[in-house]
């Protein structure tokens, strides 16, 4: 029987990366994307989007998009990528994030019911931002959730929580406590989809992605991530500025690994409706990242500038052991190899 896959936000960075994998498995693939100029420098179809994918330009938060789309297709599987991202940006454009991430999700689900087009499975790419600062542990092994760092704390340059060590995020252990509007909307997406899927007997696959990077990401979007930003600065011979004290920790996961994880949960068995963490599995400080990139371009060494962003978390890294056990997925790219590959790609673009 022919199989149809709908991918929201399907012309974006991740959508393009998964399209060749989906093309081998599904008979029909439809991508709906609003082609936002913050992501797409031009309104043209991305060259990286597989030729088999049908691209429909539309906004998932608009009723009319679904009225146009669903009479012409009944998806077996939906991969819900469409989202407004950007931790800092969400503090000043909260309505935009809530409209796309929350209302866009509910518009989609309402439309599935309205058109009798309920899929067998929905896969959501959520975010590590749902955890906020996550869990921290003291010398006696006691675990606590210190929560969001206040503006006063950041202005005083109190970057860490005294006496505490951060623990890696893991969906069955770490409580979601988002510290940004963006993170809050992603957690809302998860809760909405889980409630809806249980009611309509739909399989749900949730992936909480760490910091995704790699060839194909937007180089014009200021919220696309620090890996490409650092690379462009170093390529230009500029000093890479390090926020806080340079010891912010992130889990950088390469786009190819992310695409493989999404494909696995889209086409394989989903053992649990609980979220799965997708990351490299270890933390890298932004100083370490910047030094790798500066050495590639023989740029000046990075310098700490003491600046900070409200809503940013101090440390974020994933425990991927459960993801490996349940989904059979493991990342194949380490940070150094991935960064070198991204820099080689950037050199061909600029």
Residue 36 has pLDDT above 90, yes or no: no
Distance CA 51, CA 333 (A): 27
Question: What residue numbers bound the domain in which 306 lies?
Answer: 4-349
282-310 pLDDT, tens per residue?
A: 999 999 999 999 999 999 999 999 999 88
What pLDDT is stored for residue 172 in this prediction? Answer: 97
The percentage of residues in the chain with a pLDDT greater than 90, rounded to a whole number, is 88
What pLDDT is stored for residue 221 in this prediction? Answer: 77
CA proximity to 178, closest of 114, 223, 131:
131
- The b/e string for 308-327 (b: 16+ C-beta within 10 A; e otherwise) is beebbbbbbbbbbebbeebb
| Mean pLDDT of all residues in 269-277 | 96
For residue 198 the two structure tokens come to 């249980």
Distance CA 180, CA 270 (A): 29
For the CA atoms of the chain, what is the radius of gyration? 20
CATH code of residue 219: 3.40.50.720
Q: Is 99 left (phi over 0), alpha (psi -120 to 50) or beta?
A: alpha
DSSP symbol at 103: I
What pLDDT is stored for residue 220 in this prediction? Answer: 78
Residue 222: other Cβ atoms inside 10 A: 11
Residue 239: other Cβ atoms inside 10 A: 15
Average pLDDT, the chain: 95
165-199 pLDDT, tens per residue?
A: 999 999 999 999 999 999 999 999 999 999 999 99
39-95 pLDDT, tens per residue?
A: 777 788 999 999 999 999 999 999 999 999 999 899 999 999 999 887 667 777 788
Phi, then psi, of 111 in degrees rounded to 5: -70, -35
Q: Where are the beta strands (DSSP E) in the chain?
A: 4-8, 28-33, 53-57, 77-80, 121-127, 136-137, 143-144, 165-166, 203-209, 211-213, 241-242, 249-250, 252-254, 276-278, 284-285, 303-304
- The b/e string for 337-349 (b: 16+ C-beta within 10 A; e otherwise) is ebbebbbebbeee
What pLDDT is stored for residue 88 in this prediction? Answer: 67
Catalytic residues: 182
Distance CA 63, CA 117 (A): 15
Distance CA 13, CA 317 (A): 22
For residue 221 the two structure tokens come to 């979007």
Residue 252: other Cβ atoms inside 10 A: 26
DSSP symbol at 61: T
What is the domain count for the chain? 1
- The b/e string for 56-84 (b: 16+ C-beta within 10 A; e otherwise) is bebbbbeeebbeebbeebebbbbbbbbbb
Please return the burial class of 156, using the count of CB atoms within 10 Å of its CB with bins 0-12, 13-18 and 19+: exposed
What pLDDT is stored for residue 41 in this prediction? Answer: 73
């Amino acid at each position: 029987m022919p199989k149809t896959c709908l991918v929201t936000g399907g012309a974006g960075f991740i959508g393009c990366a998964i399209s060749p994998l989906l093309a081998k498995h599904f008979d029909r693939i439809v991508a709906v994307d609003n082609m936002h100029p913050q992501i797409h420098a031009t309104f043209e179809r991305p060259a990286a989007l597989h030729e088999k994918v049908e691209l429909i330009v539309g906004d998932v938060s608009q009723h009319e998009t679904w009225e146009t789309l669903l009479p012409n297709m009944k998806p077996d599987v939906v991969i819900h990528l469409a989202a407004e991202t950007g931790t800092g940006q969400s503090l000043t454009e909260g309505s935009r994030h809530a409209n796309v991430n929350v209302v866009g999700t509910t518009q989609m689900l309402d439309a599935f019911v309205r058109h009798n087009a309920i899929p067998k499975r929905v896969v959501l790419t959520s975010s590590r931002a749902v955890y906020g600062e996550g869990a921290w542990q003291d010398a006696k092994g006691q675990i606590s959730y210190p929560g969001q760092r206040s503006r006063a704390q950041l202005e005083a340059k109190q970057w860490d929580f005294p006496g505490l060590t951060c623990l890696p995020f893991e969906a069955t252990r770490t409580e979601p406590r988002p510290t940004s509007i963006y993170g809050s909307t992603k957690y809302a997406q998860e809760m909405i989809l889980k409630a809806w899927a249980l009611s309509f007997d739909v399989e749900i696959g949730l992936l909480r992605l760490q910091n995704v990077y790699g060839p194909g990401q937007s180089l014009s979007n200021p919220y696309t991530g620090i890996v490409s930003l650092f690379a462009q600065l170093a390529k230009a011979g500029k000093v890479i500025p390090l926020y806080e004290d340079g010891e912010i920790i992130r889990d950088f996961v390469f786009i190819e690994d992310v695409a493989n994880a999404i494909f696995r949960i889209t086409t394989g068995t989903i053992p649990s409706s609980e979220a799965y963490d997708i990351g490299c599995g270890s933390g890298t400080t932004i100083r370490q990242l910047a030094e790798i990139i500066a050495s590639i371009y023989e740029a000046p060494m990075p310098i700490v500038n003491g600046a900070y962003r409200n809503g940013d978390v101090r440390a974020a890294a994933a425990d991927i052991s459960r993801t490996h056990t349940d989904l059979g997925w493991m990342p194949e790219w380490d940070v150094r190899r991935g960064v070198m590959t991204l820099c080689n790609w950037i050199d061909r673009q600029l």
